[in-house]
Amino acid sequence: MRIARPPRLLTFRSGGLAPILVILAVLLILLTARQPDFLSPPSLMSFLGRSAPVVLLAAGQYFVIVSGELDLSVGSLVTAQVVIAARLIDGDPSAGRPVAVLLLAFGIAVGLVNGLVTTLLRVPSFITTLGMFLILVGAVYLWSDGAPKGGLSEEFRRLGRSAFEDLPVLGRIPYALVVLLAAAAAALVLTRSDFGRTLVAVGGNPRTAELSGVRVWRAKTMAFVLSSVAATLAAVLIGGYSGVSFQAGAGLEFGAITAAVLGGVALGGGRGSVVGAMLGALTLETLFTLMNFYGVSGALRPTVQGAIILLAVAAASFRLPSR
Amino acid sequence: MTVLAVSALLVLSGCATDEPTTGASGSPSAGTGSGTGEQSKFFVRADYDKQLALLDATPTGPAGKPWEQALNPEMVETAKFKKPGPYKICFSNAGLNNPWRQVGFKTMRAEVDTHRGRISEFVHVDAEGKDQKQIADINDLLGKGCHALIVSPNTTATLTPAVEAACRKGLPVIVFDRGVDTTCPVTFINPIGGYGFGHVAAEFVSQKMKAGGKVLALRILPGVDALETRWAAAKIAFDKAGVDIVGVEFTDGDPARTKKIVNDYIQRYGTIDGVWMDAGAVAGAAVEAFEDAGKPVPPINGEDQLDFLKLWKDKKLTAIAPTYPTYQWRTPIIAALKILDGEQVPNPWKLPQPTITRDNLDEYVDPTMPPLHYAMCGCTDLPGYPRRWK
Amino acid sequence: MSGALSLPTRRTPPGVFVALVLTLAIGWIVVTLDGGRLFSVPTTVSLLHVAAGLGLVAVGQTLVIVGGSLDLSVAFVVSLSTLVAAETMAGDDGALLPAIGLTLAVSATIGLVNGLLVTAARINPFIATVGVGLLLKGYLDNGYDGPAGKTAPALVQGLGYQRIGPVPLSFLLLLAVAAAAWFVLARTRFGHHLIAVGGDPEVARLSGVRGSRVLVTAHVLCALCAGLAGVYLAGRLGAGAPRVGTEGLYDLESIAAVVLGGTALAGGRGSVVGTVGGVLLLASMDAIFNQLEVDVFFKQAIRGVIIIAAVAVYARRAMRKAS
Amino acid sequence: MSGLLPSPLLALRGIGKSFLGVRVLDGVDLQVRPGEVHAVVGENGAGKSTLMKVVSGVHQPDEGTVEFAGAPRTFRNPREARQAGIGIVYQELTLLPERTVAENVCLGREPLRRGLVDRRAMLSHTAELLASVGEGSLPPDTRVGRLGVAQQQVVEIVKALALDARLLIMDEPTAALADHEVDQLYALVRRLQEHGIGVLYVSHRLKEVFDLSSRITVLKDGRAVATLDTVDTSADRLVRHMVGRELSSYYPAPAEPQELGPVRLTVRGGGNRKLRGIDLRLRAGEVLGVGGLQGSGRSALARALFGAAPFSTGRVTVDGAPVRLRSPRAAIRAGIAYVSEDRKGEGIVAGQSVLDNALLAGRAVRLGRGGRGARTARVRELLAAVELRAAGEEQEIRFLSGGNQQKVVLARWLALAPRILLFDEPTRGIDVGAKSAIHDLVRRLACDGAAVLMVSSELPELLGMSDRIVVMRDGRIAGELPTGASEEDVVALAVGTVGEAAG
């Protein structure tokens, strides 16, 4: 039947930004209530800077989810990349660039494998990327038998750790934030591009896309590659921010997926916006900071976190058309 | 996948383990987490006192070989286990996936190599940090005709039945690191323990900082007996010193998480006067957080991992590094051979638990070793050093 | 979730058993060449014990997956139930039955919550169950620093260690539960409705099936199975273990087993028999690697490969059938 | 039988329903007597489907009363309606391909024995039902996925009857059926009447309406504008009620011979799993109709030409040049477009906007000529040209009527200026008004020099639209008919009562 839809719903077509914005606003209010100077330029800058990796991952995850798939391997990929970088660079300043190139290549390779196995071999992405997760973690531990070796050079770490200093107004802008803004802009352009729109179609109805001449396997594989590239970028930033560790990427895939869902991206594909996903990630980071400032007892944090996520997603999903 | 992460963390936290807190079997009175003022519900006064006493005890045994020394030893007869060699020694390992256990196990293998002639076969089974698997493993090993069984239990209570079963088989059982709730093993080897660790660190931090200053306690994971004891002891020391514990946070052993937490605390309290850690894993990250915030690094403790020691030396930090020495992995092999020779061995075999201070720091810093290597490995005299540990 | 995994995997219970036989055959040869014995009594017993624990969880997982849902909270449910059981018994045989009753009641309640979050609150199962998992994690972290409680000796001797020849009681329990689950799917209205809901919720609704009720029931049953696994582990370990579930990776392993068994992650098609096969396959791989003292990280990587490969094979068949 | 008036089986009084503030039903009155076939007609968007869903308990009316079997009822869900004895056959098939016929038919009310599903009873019960509708040959234990659309439709109807329904709602029941299958359906419906079952019959095919119904209610914009006795009404009158205007010449004039251009497409010995020995020539400017029974290969032919289920043998040329149509993409690049019979499953991306849907093919296959801007502009023109009725180009397509969705799909293809268009059931489930619009469009495309191949199971459409008709049977071309052929000729070829005709 023909139903002329009130404009209110139009916001939801573009990914349902309304709910996430509300949640984020509430958290920020609570935060400033406790820590008035949180929104002051210096602290805000460093907050955004350190949140950059997670936001990047969420953006990457968006492309995969909207194409109707799921990428559980990003966390392990981040860890792998950091460990690889550390071992290859091993404190040698000059090694930075070549290694960065190599990481990118490795990331793309992982994305390709994820994508091609999922599309050509018809393995559900949940399994593909779960398998990739096991493979990467296993391989990295094996390769560095149980403890990361070598170390990152200060030069390599600068991107994640340093900033443009003493600027007017803002004071300092972390390089990470600049990287993030650039990546976000690129992601936004991409989602509006033919590829971006086609990808949504692929997630919404693969059959129709196929019969309209879309190379579905290609589009989805591209999505996985984008996710892996995002992970690689995140790895460089995380490695830079806090150095080598097997924990570098632990649990990040879950963070990224939750962020996307919070941001109104529907698991199953065809709906959502990259902005939403990134806002979702920012919301999660805000939540963690909030718990720091309110001194929520460490052991109870998972409980608080779980509860808030459930509430938020429930709130969001009530307004959204069912998945 | 979160679960994978969490379980990885348990071992990754670089937390060494020590003797069981009987608090474990105490009921989980729905207490609010540690650090909210009242003492940790996992605290056991008796163990605490015993360990603090041991800190001052003088070890007996060959000088310069702490892994053969013992603190107020009580010897036990082992004649009934006397057998002619060469021996098949079996080892049921709780897990291998954290640097501490990695270094320890390498050390143990090296120790085995030094007894090539006498040990014909060394069987190692890795339980991957799963109680259930370790129970199966032990059961499995009993069918392999071992002359001696070494067990490093994953948890205390749950492994007890399996160990008892092994004892009943009549072969000498040696338990080290974490203990079991039974006296049937010939000996139980481990250093002083978590209370000692936590106490030493807390004493140092509270003494070096201004009285009544603000302390941030950074912990790896909640709910791990080893780490709970460290915190419990630290709490007592801090309360005695009357310092203000502004926060007790869990870092999941994730440096990024650590930096974020420290960062937020600096912003919230302006200055932090002391940092206490229940394990060295993220000490480096904590130090960095202060640097990035342009603040002086307050008195802090780490562990004997080389990345921290280097940082300490380079940045001339006010720091201390209590240890939970990896050389304890040598002792079980030595003990096994003694026992199979019918020699007496101490039980419990309490190893000394040295602390690295500014004075002896240089002995332990070795820039050529990997960042996560544990300096207190007592492995420098073993075959294949340093290659094997790199 | 199901939407995200729309690509077909085909039900072929025999498939997994072929793989199982091959694995055992090859494994036996390799182990023998290595000078070990794969089918020695202790090894077989250990293998079946591992299978029993995972199997109980996996059978429950099969039910929710057939219904097009998913439960990632099982690992924590297992841990919690070992504690509830062991602490209620406190080493007293008299408290055996009440303790088991309480344990099952608790896990059933958690299942109910999962179910309601998925149906009533319309939260995607992936997020919902991970969220609930976090809630439980917080409670466990906060309340326990290691094993607690003491299992009734009767349970330890019985379910924990008693065996008939090389077959542990626990494995017989698994077979019983699996048979029951199979029966439920094949011969009860609930079973038929569950499969229908998993196949196409809208069709089920239009056919007068109460989709929500069915799905909630499935989640309760899944949690009950996890609870049962907890009871068994309490018997096996002699105490409650707050991390046994997560250490055992029961959430991901159970899903892997279900998928290896040929059940479609998309729902609407499933085989309990296959799941048992999948569990046995994973367990035997464990046993073989164990005999060969294979490095655990290598093992993990291999697992990843095998899971992906297996599902790829199913997909291949499906495509052949389709074309 | 409308002579004596038994008390109504179903009585709707003043039914009103709104969605998102939009009035979809407004004060609808309607009565169905036992054993009566009551047809409901109206354009898409007139509210037919909603009305049916209200009766069957899927939706609850905002106002008005539903009276069933003499008692006022409020059905909170389909289940309650069923139990009261209201069965419904939906427009789209609501079957589970993975399950057997019996499992589908009994879904939601499986027979129990000692609390367990009684498989034997299920099978026998289903078998009886199938027999009662003259489909005894259909084995109840086959997976529905293996059945053809027509058989599935039968299962659908049997499913609706399974819980001895007293009122059966049929929403476009023939949508998926070929004409001879429709006759079976007629027989089935008459059998139902004899059992005193009331039928609420929704259809766009006026022929069926007149053949079957005793009364007709016309819906327009959510209101019941008229209820007429079938005997004393005419198609024109009905259509006037529906669209509020005379329906001019139903089909556009066929092409004059001299208008036909050069040969656009040839197939020599084309074959694959479903097709054998296909020889075909398609000329610019002509509309080639493809007839045949369900499963005769008429759809397979279109899909093969589009590369969706490619020919495995034979040679294909486009404008004289040999082409290999291995994938839709390849076909599109060769200038071929395809409008699927399954609009929901293969035509649209429900969650995306009208514009995104219209741009889909253009974005996927960039065929020269201008950049994104130009492409978008062209699509906008086309959307206007096909007289799309939507709230705006940003509206999600799933909120459009079938006819308008089809227009968007057409715009998508026209944007690529294809030289060959393949239509599979272009007007299935589309209301009379939009139907003729699409017919005109198809003809116009042909006049502009495109070659059109149109599969249709609706004989009037096939005969009315085509310049030439090929009839398929068992995957082969059974014969070819010139324009002006009769329905009988087509059916004869389709069912094979006449041998291979020349052509």
Q: How many CB atoms lie within 10 A of CB B357?
A: 13
Q: Is it the case that chain B and chain C have 3 or more CB pairs lying under 8 Å apart?
A: yes
Same domain, B184 and B227: no
Looking at the complex, report in whole angstroms how far the Cα of residue A116 sits from the nearest Cα belonging to chain B: 22
To test the contact with chain A by mutation, choose from B4, B277, B311, B377 the residue with the greatest count of A C-beta atoms within 10 A, namely B4
Contact D404 A2 (CB under 8 A): yes
Task: Give the predicted TM-score (pTM) of the model.
Answer: 0.87
Same domain, B315 and B268: yes
Interface of A with D in 150-169 (CB under 8 A): none
Q: What is the mean pLDDT of residues D254-264?
A: 83
Q: Which domain holds residue A305?
A: 14-25+51-319
A149 touching chain B per CB within 8 A: yes
Q: How confident is the model at residue A206 (pLDDT cuts 50, 70, 90)?
A: very high
D143 touching chain C per CB within 8 A: no
Query: Subunits that touch chain B (at least 3 Cβ pairs < 8 angstroms)?
Result: A, C
> Which residue has tokens 């077989």?
C44
C154 touching chain B per CB within 8 A: no
Torsion over CA of C14, C17, C18 and C23, rounded to 10 degrees?
A: 170
Same domain, D305 and D230: no
Same domain, D135 and D224: yes
Q: Which chain D residue is nearest to residue C211, measuring alpha carbons?
A: D108
pLDDT in tens, C110-123: 999 999 999 998 89
Q: Which of D360, D383, D416 is the last residue of a domain?
A: D416
Same domain, B338 and B278: no
Spatial separation of the C-alpha atoms in residues D357 and B7, rounded to whole Å: 46
Residue D324 is predicted with a pLDDT of 93
Same domain, D308 and D367: no
Using a CB-CB distance cutoff of 8 angstroms, which residues of chain A are in contact with residue D396? 5, 13
What CATH number is attached to the domain comprising A140? 1.10.3470
B249 touching chain C per CB within 8 A: no
Interface of A with C in 166-195 (CB under 8 A): none
Looking at the complex, report in whole angstroms how far the Cα of residue B226 sits from the nearest Cα belonging to chain C: 8
Residue A4 is predicted with a pLDDT of 37
Q: Which chain A residue is nearest to residue D402, measuring alpha carbons?
A: A1
Q: Is residue D341 part of a domain?
A: no
- Ranges A70-84, D152-166, D290-304, most confident: A70-84
Using a CB-CB distance cutoff of 8 angstroms, which residues of chain D are in contact with residue C191? 117
Q: Is residue A45 part of a domain?
A: no
Q: What percentage of residues in chain D have a pLDDT greater than 70?
A: 91
Residue B118 is predicted with a pLDDT of 94
Using a CB-CB distance cutoff of 8 angstroms, which residues of chain A are in contact with residue D24? 1, 3
Residue D175 is predicted with a pLDDT of 63
Contact B130 C75 (CB under 8 A): no
Q: How many CB pairs under 8 A join A and B?
A: 127
Residue B353 pLDDT greater than 50, yes or no: yes
Q: Is it the case that chain B and chain D have 3 or more CB pairs lying under 8 Å apart?
A: no
Tell me, letter by letter, the H, E, C secondary structure of chain A. CCCCCCHHHHHHHCCCHHHHHHHHHHHHHHHHHHCHHHHCHHHHHHHHHHHHHHHHHHHHHHHHHHCCCCCCCHHHHHHHHHHHHHHHHCCCHHHHHHHHHHHHHHHHHHHHHHHHHHHCCCCCHHHHHHHHHHHHHHHHHHHCCCCCCCCCCHHHHHHHHCEEEEECCCEEEEHHHHHHHHHHHHHHHHHHCHHHHHHHHHHHCHHHHHHCCCCHHHHHHHHHHHHHHHHHHHHHHHHHHHCCCCCCCCCHHHHHHHHHHHCCCCCCCCCCCHHHHHHHHHHHHHHHHHHHHHCCCHHHHHHHHHHHHHHHHHHHHHHCCCC
User: Which burial class, exposed, middle or buried, applies to C33 when counting CB atoms under 10 A from its CB (0-12, 13-18, 19+)?
Assistant: exposed
Q: What is the mean pLDDT of residues D55-62?
A: 89
**Average pLDDT of the residues of chain D:** 85
- Partner residue facing B130 (CB), from C43, C145, C247: C247
Q: What is the mean pLDDT of residues D121-150?
A: 84
pLDDT in tens, A131-168: 999 999 999 988 987 778 888 888 899 998 888 888 88
Contact C195 D94 (CB under 8 A): no
Residue C3 is predicted with a pLDDT of 34
Contact D96 C203 (CB under 8 A): yes
Spatial separation of the C-alpha atoms in residues D407 and D339, rounded to whole Å: 10
> Which residue has tokens 């009943």?
B168
Same domain, B111 and B202: no
Same domain, D440 and D298: yes
Quote the tokens at residue D116. Answer: 């367990």
Looking at the complex, report in whole angstroms how far the Cα of residue D142 sits from the nearest Cα belonging to chain C: 16
Q: Is residue A30 part of a domain?
A: no
Using a CB-CB distance cutoff of 8 angstroms, which residues of chain B are in contact with residue A149? 370-371, 390
Residue D473 pLDDT greater than 60, yes or no: yes
Q: B386 with B368: CB under 8 angstroms?
A: yes
Interface confidence (ipTM) of the complex = 0.85
Quote the tokens at residue D171. Answer: 């929403």
Q: Which domain holds residue D208?
A: 10-243
Q: How confident is the model at residue D179 (pLDDT cuts 50, 70, 90)?
A: low
Contact B101 A146 (CB under 8 A): yes
Q: What angle do CA D326, D327, D329 make, to 5 degrees?
A: 130
Q: Which chain D residue is nearest to residue A212, measuring alpha carbons?
A: D361
D433 touching chain A per CB within 8 A: no
Q: What are phi and psi of D408, to 5 degrees?
A: -60, -45
Same domain, B218 and B272: yes
Contact C301 A261 (CB under 8 A): no
Q: Which of D195, D215, D243 is the last residue of a domain?
A: D243
Spatial separation of the C-alpha atoms in residues C124 and A151, rounded to whole Å: 40
What CATH number is attached to the domain comprising D213? 3.40.50.300
What CATH number is attached to the domain comprising B108? 3.40.50.2300
Looking at the complex, report in whole angstroms how far the Cα of residue C200 sits from the nearest Cα belonging to chain B: 28
DSSP B20-37: PPGGGGS----PPPTTSS
Spatial separation of the C-alpha atoms in residues D478 and D475, rounded to whole Å: 9
Contact C189 D117 (CB under 8 A): yes
Same domain, B158 and B241: no
Q: Which of B51-60, C83-92, D171-180 has the lowest mean pLDDT?
A: D171-180
A154 touching chain B per CB within 8 A: no
> Is CATH 1.20.1630 the classification given to domain C2-322?
no
Same domain, B199 and B301: yes
Q: Is residue B296 part of a domain?
A: yes
The number of domains in chain D is 3
Contact D348 A205 (CB under 8 A): yes
Beta-strand pair D263-271/D278-283: antiparallel
Q: B191 with B328: CB under 8 angstroms?
A: yes
pLDDT in tens, B158-185: 888 889 989 999 999 999 998 888 899 9
Same domain, D225 and D168: yes
Quote the tokens at residue D139. Answer: 């084995």
Contact B132 C42 (CB under 8 A): no
Q: What angle do CA C263, C267, C273 make, to 5 degrees?
A: 30
Spatial separation of the C-alpha atoms in residues B329 and B345, rounded to whole Å: 16
Looking at the complex, report in whole angstroms how far the Cα of residue D108 sits from the nearest Cα belonging to chain C: 5
Q: How many CB atoms lie within 10 A of CB C176?
A: 10
Same domain, D15 and D163: yes
**What are the residues facing B247 on neighbouring strands?**
B216
Q: Is residue A305 part of a domain?
A: yes
For chain C, the structural domain boundaries read 2-322
> Which residue has tokens 């990024």?
B256
Q: How many CB pairs under 8 A join C and D?
A: 63
Distance (Å) of CA D203 to CA C54, D90, D175, D225: 55, 12, 8, 17
Q: Is residue A46 part of a domain?
A: no
Contact D117 C204 (CB under 8 A): no
Q: Which domain holds residue B47?
A: 34-54+194-322
Same domain, B135 and B215: no
Using a CB-CB distance cutoff of 8 angstroms, which residues of chain D are in contact with residue C200? 94, 96
Q: Is residue A4 part of a domain?
A: no
Residue A72 is predicted with a pLDDT of 94
Contact A303 C138 (CB under 8 A): yes
pLDDT in tens, B5-36: 444 444 434 444 433 333 333 333 333 333 44
Contact D399 A5 (CB under 8 A): yes
- Partner residue facing B248 (CB), from A247, A293, A298: A298
> Which residue has tokens 């050529």?
B368
Q: How confident is the model at residue C321 (pLDDT cuts 50, 70, 90)?
A: low
Q: Identify residue B219 by its one-letter amino acid code.
A: R
Residue B358 pLDDT greater than 60, yes or no: yes
Q: Which of B304, B322, B340 is the last residue of a domain?
A: B322
Q: Which chain B residue is nearest to residue C156, measuring alpha carbons?
A: B161
D423 touching chain A per CB within 8 A: no
B120 touching chain C per CB within 8 A: no
Spatial separation of the C-alpha atoms in residues B91 and B112, rounded to whole Å: 12
- Partner residue facing D47 (CB), from A1, A205, A210: A1
A288 touching chain B per CB within 8 A: yes
Same domain, D306 and D423: yes
Q: How confident is the model at residue D248 (pLDDT cuts 50, 70, 90)?
A: very low
Same domain, D212 and D274: no
Beta-strand pair B345-346/B75-76: antiparallel
Distance (Å) of CA A208 to CA A203, C15, D358, D363: 10, 32, 12, 13
Residue A242 pLDDT greater than 80, yes or no: yes
Residue B258 is predicted with a pLDDT of 94
Q: How confident is the model at residue D437 (pLDDT cuts 50, 70, 90)?
A: confident
Using a CB-CB distance cutoff of 8 angstroms, which residues of chain A are in contact with residue D394? 10, 13
Q: What are phi and psi of D143, to 5 degrees?
A: -70, 130
pLDDT in tens, A24-44: 999 999 999 998 888 888 889
Contact A270 D349 (CB under 8 A): yes
Q: Characterise B265 by phi-psi region: left (phi > 0), alpha (psi -120 to 50), beta (else).
A: alpha
Spatial separation of the C-alpha atoms in residues A312 and A314, rounded to whole Å: 5
Residue A1 pLDDT greater than 60, yes or no: no
Residue D369 is predicted with a pLDDT of 62
Same domain, B115 and B133: yes
Spatial separation of the C-alpha atoms in residues B102 and A145, rounded to whole Å: 8
β strands within B75-179, DSSP E? 75-76, 87-93, 119-126, 148-152, 173-176
Looking at the complex, report in whole angstroms how far the Cα of residue D237 sits from the nearest Cα belonging to chain C: 35
The number of domains in chain B is 2
Same domain, B201 and B297: yes
A196 touching chain D per CB within 8 A: no
Q: Is residue B9 part of a domain?
A: no
Q: Which chain C residue is nearest to residue D273, measuring alpha carbons?
A: C323
- Partner residue facing A68 (CB), from C3, C299, C305: C3
Q: Is residue B282 part of a domain?
A: yes
Using a CB-CB distance cutoff of 8 angstroms, which residues of chain D are in contact with residue C209? 79, 107-108
Same domain, B84 and B140: yes
Same domain, B235 and B336: no
Instruction: Report the candidate in C278, C243, C252 with the shortest Cα–Cα distance to residue C78.
Output: C243
Provide the sign of the torsion angle of the four alpha carbons B351, B353, B354, B356, taken in this order: positive
Residue C1 is predicted with a pLDDT of 35
C63 touching chain D per CB within 8 A: no
Q: Identify residue A140 by its one-letter amino acid code.
A: V
Q: Is residue D486 part of a domain?
A: yes
- Partner residue facing C189 (CB), from D98, D112, D119: D112
- Partner residue facing A300 (CB), from C142, C299, C308: C142
Q: How confident is the model at residue A90 (pLDDT cuts 50, 70, 90)?
A: confident
